[in-house]
Structure formats: C-alpha cells, structure tokens
Amino acid sequence: MSAVATFLTSTIGRKVLMALTGILLILFLVTHLAANLLILVDAEAYNAYSHALISNPLIYIAEAGLIALFVAHFASGILIYAQGRAARPSSYKDDRWAGGTSKKSFSSSTMILSGAFFLLFVPLHVWGFKFGTYYDAGNGIRDLHRLVVEEFQNPLLVAFYVVGMAILGLHMWHAFGSAFESLGVTQRDTLRRTGNVIAVVLAGGFMIIPLAIFFLGGGQ
Amino acid sequence: MENMTLNLRIWRQASDSDSGELVDYTVRNVSPDMSFLEVLDVVNDDIVKSGNEPVAYDYDCREGICGSCSLVINGVAHGPREATTACQLFMRHFSDGDTITVEPWRAKAFPVVKDLVVDRSAFDRIQAAGGYVSFDTGGACDANEILVPKEAADAAMDAAACIGCGACVAACKNASAELFVGAKVTQFALLPQGQGERDRRVLAMVEQMQEEGFGPCSNEGECQAVCPKEISVAHIQTLHREYTRASMRRIFGAG
Ligand code: HEM
Ligand code: FES
C-alpha cells in the first residue's frame, strides 16, 4: 500500500480526514447562515447575492468541492463507526458513563444518527430550494426570496427545518471540539466551550429563518 | 461503619468461546476496610467450600502499581473512584445492601481467558513493535550531559506513569487503545533519546494497534476519566500529531 493510502485508511488518518472535512463543512455552514440571514433583511440584496453566486462559473468547482467534502466525511464517519463496533463485539451488561473529566454526552453518543440524518436532509433541502420553482425577479435574476417565503408558509416544512437544525446543533455540540482534538490540539476545555457556542449559534441562526417567515411574514 | 452484606453479580465465562452470564453471589460481613479484591477472595472461599469453581480474576501487586487487576465494576472500569485501581478500591465506598455488577474488560483485542481474566498480550505486542529505544546509549554519563527541558521531563514522566492495565480500552465505546499508545509514544517523543526512532516507533506501534483490532478514537474521553494514573487525553492528541507528522515525512520521502 502506498504511504498515502496507509495514512488515509489508518484509524488516525481517517479521523484527521473527518476532522478536516468536518471543519470545512462548518466553515461553509457559517457563510451559508450569514448569507441566508439576508432573507430576513432585504429580499433584493438576497436575490442579488444568490445571483452573483450561481452566475459565477467557479460555482461548479465549489459545488463539486462541497459534495466531495460531504462524501469523504460521511464515508469515513460510517467506517469509523463500523470499526468501533467491531472492536467491542460483546457489550457490557451494566454500562455507565464514567463522569468526571469525560466529555461523553448525548451528542457524542449519537454522532452516527445525527450525521445519518443529513444524508436525508441535504438532498431534500437542495431539491426543495436549488431545484425548486423558478420565479423571475426581472433582469434574468431568480426570485429565490419568493420561493423561500412561499415554502415556509407550510407548517410541516417549518417543523422539519426546526427539528433538522436542532439535529445539526446536536452534531456540532461534540463535532467542533472533537475535530480540533483529532488534529492534535490539546486545549480541550476551551475547544468544547467554543464548540457548544458554535452549535447553538448555527442551529439557532438557521432556525430563525423559517420561524420568522412563518410567524412574522419574513422581511418583504 | 458497620460490616455490610453485598449482592455481587459476577460475570462467569468458562472460555472465550463460551457465551458467559452474570451469576449472583451474596457476601456477608464485608468490612468497609476490605479492598474489592478481598471481597472476591471471600466470595471464592465460599464457592470453593461448596465444591465449585472459584471466580478467576487477575491481580498481582494489590497496591495499584502493576496494572494487573482489571474489573468493570458497576459499569465503570476500575469502579466508581477516580484515579483508583480495583485493588485499591475500598468497600467503604459502597453501602450495605448494594448490588454490584462485576464484568471483565470487553474488547475484541482482549479475549476472555476465563471469567474476569482477559488476555492483554495485545498491549505487549504494541510495545514490542516500537515502545523502546533500541540503540546503545553507552555507559552512564553525567546527569546533565544531555539537557532535557523541565516541562518535557515532567510530561514524559506523566506519560510513563501508565501501568498498561487496559482500563482505557475497557471504558471506550470503540475499545480504542489510543490513550495507552499515546502515552507510550509521547514518553519517548519528548525526550532526546527517543528522537532517533521517533517516526519508525509511532508508525509501527499504530500499525500494530490496528492489527490487534482496537478501534478509533471518538474523543469522548471516558479513558482519561477511568485511568487510575490519570493519563491525560493530551497524549492522544500528541499521538495524532506524531502519527500525522511521521506519515507526512514518509509520504514526502523525508522519513
Ligand atoms: C452538515 C454536515 C456535517 C458537518 C458540518 C459535520 C461535521 C463534523 C465534525 C467537525 C466532526 C468531528 C470530526 C472529528 O471527530 O474529528 C464530525 C464527526 C462525525 N460525523 Fe459529521 N458532519 C456533517 C455530516 C455528517 C454526515 C452526513 C455523517 C454521516 C453519517 C456524519 C457522521 C459523523 C460521525 C459518525 C462523526 C463522529 C466520528 C467519531 O466517532 O469520531 N457527519 N462531523
Ligand atoms: S493488582 Fe496491581 S494494580 Fe491492581
């Protein structure tokens, strides 16, 4: 096996890959949230922003990159989960958390489930918005704002997004600190606290959009 | 404190191929000053008197330094006390009438030999893969001949405190050995004598760790919480840096 393959298929290399792809996905989510909050502020600015994005040919490279990050992340996530299960074939009859300095949590214990949810969520989300109804805002600009506001009149869809973003927060609660630890950073308590703030800000920030549109009508 | 009556639920398993089960034993007259292993001795006395097979469990020093004892007590490796091996766990931390579950370390890499005894030779094979300095360091030189920064000496000493009991593996949901391997790698990586074989050591030890069937690290840190020597997960982070560095040096032809 080549030295590169040995590294990438090692338990540690796989975690380094998970951490790097995970951190880049979080960075994407931060920019995605910042841009989407424009929906609540200024419809025209939001449409102009999304037009600028999709009219740039580099968007295809960026999209391919995002897909690659996502696939690499969840593929290694599933492999890591499977390896962990294989290493503990018989389970404890009495299994308790150690407490003390341990950072084991509901979040860390459900990473595979919260992660798997995004395999469902992301395709539905892209299908609903990117490939949703095309409204023209004039001048060849897509009125994406109108689509978002229309979609979020549906209480079921609002509920799906609120629950979905809670699950995102659940993944992030453990993910952020864990990623930097996988990369060898030792400031554990600081990382965990930062991760918890990021989890709440990301999940809460994304939740505000459907909730504000549904209850307040959303910045027309 | 009065003597206690305890209800022990002990894992009995004839061999690795046997499926095993929890068996209930009642022990009376347990003094709060007894250690957990002494209670098992009393249980075994009773079992032997009734003509049955005593419970097999590992021990040697009974003073918390050899790393032989290996019991999961009430779902936690080495039991409820922090920084304490099972042999140093005293019964004053339990109350009269308690039901206490006792299980072996559970990991694919630690097959059960019998009852509570598991085969931990996987750790020896990881050590043998690189956990030493192989070149001749010559005769004893003056203590200050090779200068070691105080911080590095202290950190290496902390890593060297690992007694190799395997509680980290037992506590981890992935049965990962990274706390153990991290401690063994760090101990040398920080010292001048460890530099010559730094890359080779971490690559070989990690490879052996995987071959033995230990799982990956999910950064929960149950290992540090149960470690009787309070080995820090910082050693896992060091292991990740050391392994990544050595791999990159190999990939780019420097190692
Ligand atoms: C919104 C997209 C996602 C982001 C931003 C994200 C981010 C992260 C980060 C930063 C980590 C920490 C990595 C580490 O511990 O080194 C992580 C862990 C994990 N992710 Fe994701 N993730 C996402 C989607 C997914 C998906 C689709 C799966 C698919 C099953 C998944 C499964 C996992 C698992 C299982 C872990 C824990 C690995 C372990 O046990 O150590 N994630 N994620
Ligand atoms: S018997 Fe030696 S550490 Fe417990």
CA pair distance A31, A46, nearest whole angstrom: 13
Higher pLDDT, B130 or B142: B130
The pLDDT of residue A199 is above 60: yes
Q: Which of B57, B86, B114 delimits the end of a domain?
A: B114
Whole-Å CA distances, A16 to A21, A37, B186: 9, 32, 19
Give me the CATH number covering residue A188.
1.20.1300
The residue range of the domain holding B226 is: 121-252
Higher pLDDT, B253 or B111: B111
Q: Which of B216, B239, B251 sits opposite A80 (nearest CB)?
A: B216
User: Quick check: B216 and A12 CB within 8 A?
Assistant: yes
- Are B95 and B141 part of one and the same domain? no
| Percent of chain B residues topping a pLDDT of 70 | 100
- Domain contains A96: no
- Are B35 and B80 part of one and the same domain? yes
- Are B243 and B125 part of one and the same domain? yes
- Are B106 and B128 part of one and the same domain? no
Copy the structure tokens of residue A27: 């960075």
> Residue B9: in which H helix or E strand, if any?
strand B4-12
pLDDT of residue A123: 97
Q: Which of B114, B129, B158 delimits the end of a domain?
A: B114
The pLDDT of residue A218 is above 70: no
- Are B15 and B31 part of one and the same domain? yes
How close is the nearest chain A Cα to the Cα of B140, in Å? 35
Give me the CATH number covering residue B75.
3.10.20.30
Residue A100 CA, chain-centre distance (Å), reads 30
Q: Which of B65, B83, B114 delimits the end of a domain?
A: B114
The residue range of the domain holding A10 is: 3-90+104-216
How close is the nearest chain B Cα to the Cα of A202, in Å? 22
* pLDDT tens, position by position, B132-188: 998 887 788 888 888 999 999 999 999 999 999 999 999 999 999 999 999 999 999
| Percent of chain B residues topping a pLDDT of 90 | 92
pLDDT of residue B255: 57
- Domain contains A98: no
- Are B102 and B225 part of one and the same domain? no
- Domain contains A82: yes
**Pocket of ligand 2 contains residue B166 by CB under 6 Å:** no
Ligand with an atom nearest the CA of residue B35: 2
- Are B104 and B189 part of one and the same domain? no
* pLDDT tens, position by position, A166-190: 999 999 999 999 999 999 999 999 9
- Are B106 and B225 part of one and the same domain? no
> Residue B29: in which H helix or E strand, if any?
strand B21-30
* pLDDT tens, position by position, A72-121: 999 999 999 999 999 999 999 999 999 999 999 999 999 999 999 999 99
pLDDT of residue B164: 98
**Pocket of ligand 1 contains residue A75 by CB under 6 Å:** no
Instruction: Give chain B's domain count.
Output: 2
